Amino acid sequence: MSTNVTTPNIQLGDYIVIQRQKYTKLQKFGSLDATSTLGKETLELKSLLDQPYGSTFKMCVKETKSGKRGAQRQHTLELCSDTELRSTREVLGISSSGADNRDICDNGEAQALNSSDIEQLREACNESSKIIEKLVENSKTFHTRTEYSQEKYLLKKEKKYFEFVQIRQPTIRLMVDIFYRQDAEKIMGIRVDTLSQIISYSGVCGFGNYLLYESGTNGLLPAAMMNSIGADTEGTLVHMHPGNVPQKQALLALKLPLEQQQRCVSVNLYSVLREFYQGETTSVSPAEPSAVQAEETLPETPTEEQPEAVEPSTKKPKLDEAPPSGNNKGPLRWQLENKRATTLMHEKFDSLVVAAKEHPSSILQALLPLVRPSRPIVVFSTCRELLQETFMELKTSGKVTALHLTSNWLRTYQILPNRTHPEVNMSGNSGYLLTGFTLK
């Protein structure tokens, strides 16, 4: 139990979450020279080493280069205490405000400073509050704005000039936000509410053997399931994927203990099913040709500007595990994994989760016989029609009962004194889940 464990420190090789106000990003801290780009700012990560997770760092400008999209600033990071973080309103001591906006005209003359003045200001000042102070001083309309409007103005400026970043340890919650915001397609459009329900409906927990087929979620689905299986438990996951190499970014980012990592058995769908039905094959090729093609269309998908994020995860261990003298004579990693997976397949699973880019129907046909009776199944798809067909097929087969096809509204709210309302923009597509229980 982790009752008295202090927060862990940032280590080389870790994936880290860099947070600047509401913006978050997953980054691999691969080497001391590693940098991370947040818009126009480039951060040198060197000074993060051995600092505790959750620490806040101040971005200090080291040099300014002119780049393609305007000035690119290189920063070093300095550990700072939380007391340096104060609300800009407090720092500036703003007191007067207007009642409404009847006297404010949008004539482009409100700000007396021009853009080059501001750029110079930025070079000269190290603190965002100083820049904002100047901006407020030179704004003709600031003090006639309403209190709420002033707050909005300050927040907007703060967002632009904020000079602090926080380094956090990746969790499923932080990662699904990052992945969904950056490119929802890369995680097959699995939204946070849908992910949370996949975990619930599949019943994945510290006991039992679980089966997952996913065709590319940056490792998010296996990571979420392994997270629920937990450390020092008896649960196991067989993770089937269509490529040569499983996508594992999210899984690696969780930095699970070795014993837990080993309970995630990642295998190629074609190769493991062949071995399951036909016994061990002597072929040397790690996967079927069709699988190789599939892999080409689904490359490891690193997020922008971080080539280090691609982890050739299965290649290294392969070499390590091969006996040093005999070239490829010992069993390869994928062969060992296939063997473990087929053993578990013969024992059958306690749940099945499918999130496929392919039509789910044939995949279910192949994998349903591997699930014990009275066990939950969950099928995800971004479109309803595919699941509609699958629903009917399962219903007629009589092998699955309590079938439900569901989707969600996720409504987010701004709750502030006197300013409570639903958010202006919300995500409109949760995707669809088909759930049910297997029968004998």
Partner 1 sequence: MSFLKPKTHIEQGDIVILYLSVNSMHAIEAVPTIVNKKGETIQHIFQTNYGSLKVESIIGVEYGSRVELSKGWANVLQSSPELWTQTLPHRTQIIYTPDISMILHQLEVRPGAVVIESGTGSGSLSHYILRALKPTGHLHTFDFHEARADQARDEFKRHGLAAYVSVYHRDVCNLGFSTELDGAANAVFLDLPAPDLAVPHAFKALKLSGGRFCSFSPCIEQSQRCIQELTKLGFNEICSMEVLQQESVIKTRSLPVIDLEFLKLPKTNESSSPEETKTPKELKKYLTSSNPQTLPGHTGFLTFATLPPNIPKA
User: Is residue 427 near partner 1 by the rule CB under 8 A?
Assistant: no
Q: Which is nearer to partner 1, 208 or 216 (CB)?
A: 208
Which of 253, 436, 272 is closest to 366 using CA atoms? Answer: 272
User: Is residue 384 near partner 1 by the rule CB under 8 A?
Assistant: yes
Instruction: Tokens 């001591």: give the residue.
Output: 93
Give buried/exposed letters for 127-152 (b at 16+ CB in 10 A, else e). Answer: ebbbbbbbbbeebebbebbeeebbbe
Contacts of 16 (CB under 8 A, 6+ apart): 10, 26, 27, 28, 29, 45, 48, 53, 167, 168, 169, 170
Q: How near is the Cβ of 395 to partner 1 at its closest, in Å?
A: 8
Instruction: Tokens 């940032």: give the residue.
Output: 10
**CA–CA dist 366, 147 (Å, integer):** 62
Number of amino acids touching partner 1 (CB under 8 A): 64
* Choices 291-299, 319-327, 357-365, 430-438 (CB under 8 A): range interacting with partner 1: 430-438
Which parts of 198-257 interact with partner 1 (CB under 8 A)?
199-201, 203, 205-208, 227-233
User: Is residue 258 near partner 1 by the rule CB under 8 A?
Assistant: no
User: Is residue 413 near partner 1 by the rule CB under 8 A?
Assistant: yes
Contact with partner 1 (CB under 8 A) among 99, 258, 284, 415: 415
User: Is residue 359 near partner 1 by the rule CB under 8 A?
Assistant: no
**Helix runs in 236-332, H state only:** 249-253, 258-261, 269-278, 289-297, 315-321
> CB 158: neighbour CB atoms within 10 A?
18
Tokens of 39: 């818009």
User: Is residue 197 near partner 1 by the rule CB under 8 A?
Assistant: yes
> CB 224: neighbour CB atoms within 10 A?
27
User: Is residue 425 near partner 1 by the rule CB under 8 A?
Assistant: no
Q: How near is the Cβ of 89 to partner 1 at its closest, in Å?
A: 14
Contacts of 329 (CB under 8 A, 6+ apart): 322, 323
Q: How near is the Cβ of 150 to partner 1 at its closest, in Å?
A: 18
Q: How near is the Cβ of 52 to partner 1 at its closest, in Å?
A: 8
Contacts of 164 (CB under 8 A, 6+ apart): 20, 56, 57, 58, 59, 80, 84, 85
CA–chain centroid gap for 265, Å, is: 21
Which parts of 1-20 interact with partner 1 (CB under 8 A)?
1-3, 5-7
* Choices 38-46, 195-203, 309-317, 326-334 (CB under 8 A): range interacting with partner 1: 195-203
Tokens of 69: 């999209």
User: Is residue 144 near partner 1 by the rule CB under 8 A?
Assistant: no
Q: Which is nearer to partner 1, 187 or 287 (CB)?
A: 187
User: Is residue 372 near partner 1 by the rule CB under 8 A?
Assistant: yes
Contact with partner 1 (CB under 8 A) among 86, 103, 373, 397: 373
Q: How near is the Cβ of 351 to partner 1 at its closest, in Å?
A: 8
Contact with partner 1 (CB under 8 A) among 93, 108, 289, 417: 417
- Opening angle at CA 27, ends 247 and 156, nearest 5: 125
CA–chain centroid gap for 289, Å, is: 30
**CA–CA dist 273, 270 (Å, integer):** 5
Q: How near is the Cβ of 436 to partner 1 at its closest, in Å?
A: 11
- Opening angle at CA 79, ends 124 and 66, nearest 5: 40
- Please answer whether residues 360 and 387 qualify as being in contact, where contact means their C-beta atoms are separated by less than 8 angstroms: yes
Q: How near is the Cβ of 74 to partner 1 at its closest, in Å?
A: 28
User: Is residue 410 near partner 1 by the rule CB under 8 A?
Assistant: yes
Q: How near is the Cβ of 437 to partner 1 at its closest, in Å?
A: 6
Q: How near is the Cβ of 38 to partner 1 at its closest, in Å?
A: 18
Contact with partner 1 (CB under 8 A) among 106, 284, 409, 428: 409
User: Is residue 340 near partner 1 by the rule CB under 8 A?
Assistant: no
Q: Which is nearer to partner 1, 106 or 232 (CB)?
A: 232
CA–chain centroid gap for 342, Å, is: 30
Chain contacts with partner 1 (rule: CB under 8 A) = 1-3, 5-7, 52, 54, 82, 171-173, 192-193, 195-197, 199-201, 203, 205-208, 227-233, 350, 372-376, 384, 388-389, 391-392, 401-413, 415, 417, 420, 432, 437-440
